[in-house]
Amino acid sequence: MPNPLKGEVSIGLGKETFTLFYDVDTLCVAEDLLNLSTAEILSGVTARKVRMGFMRGLLWAGLRQHHPDLSLVEVGERFLGPGGIGVSGAQVKILDALAAAFPVAKDGGGEAAGEDPPPAADGTGSASSASGSTSG
């Protein structure tokens, strides 16, 4: 059973349930398979016009941890083909799994939230006694 606290997302196909999971290793596998950087992969998964081979590869990479016997071809046939979740369904599941695995801080998120960290406050440390220091 998938654990959302670990970044796992379930995908139901008929009577079977599969677990989708992303971590750093999974993204490295996806980078190698797709010959794209992680930034390009993250941008591509949200694209309006996404290549089916791209989605198949990214989905396969995320299924490997819990379903190592699934081949790349099987993932395409079972998940993206007739009776599967399709490309748009795969996009939703992949985005859910990525968001669960790599949450963005909401409060005081700094760089993770797309902001620069706040500058250090003046006068919060002890004065330097090093040669060439200035007193402030």
Range of the domain at 50: 4-101
pLDDT digits (tens, 9 = 90+) for 59-116: 999 999 999 999 999 999 999 999 999 999 999 999 999 999 888 756 555 455 455 6
Q: Tell me whether residue 122 is in a domain.
A: no
Q: Is residue 51 part of a domain?
A: yes
> Within a domain: residue 89?
yes
d(CA 125, CA 103): 33
Residue 13 lies in a domain: yes
Residue 125 has pLDDT above 60, yes or no: no
Q: Is residue 19 part of a domain?
A: yes
Q: Burial level of 67, CB count in 10 A (0-12/13-18/19+)?
A: middle
Inside any domain, residue 114: no
Q: Count up the domains in the chain and report the number.
A: 1
CB environment 99-110: b (16+ within 10 A), e (fewer): ebbeeeeeeeee
Residue 66 sits at φ, ψ, to 5 deg, of -100, -15
Q: Please tell me the predicted confidence (pLDDT) of residue 61.
A: 97
- Per-residue pLDDT, 7: 81
Mean pLDDT of 2-30: 89
44 belongs to a structural domain: yes
The pLDDT of residue 104 is 77
Q: What's the whole-number mean pLDDT along residues 6-23? A: 92
Q: Rounded to an integer, what is the distance from CA 17 to the centroid of its chain?
A: 21
- Dihedral, 17, 21, 27, 32 alpha carbons, nearest 10: -30
pLDDT value, residue 126: 61
Q: What is the pLDDT of residue 130?
A: 59
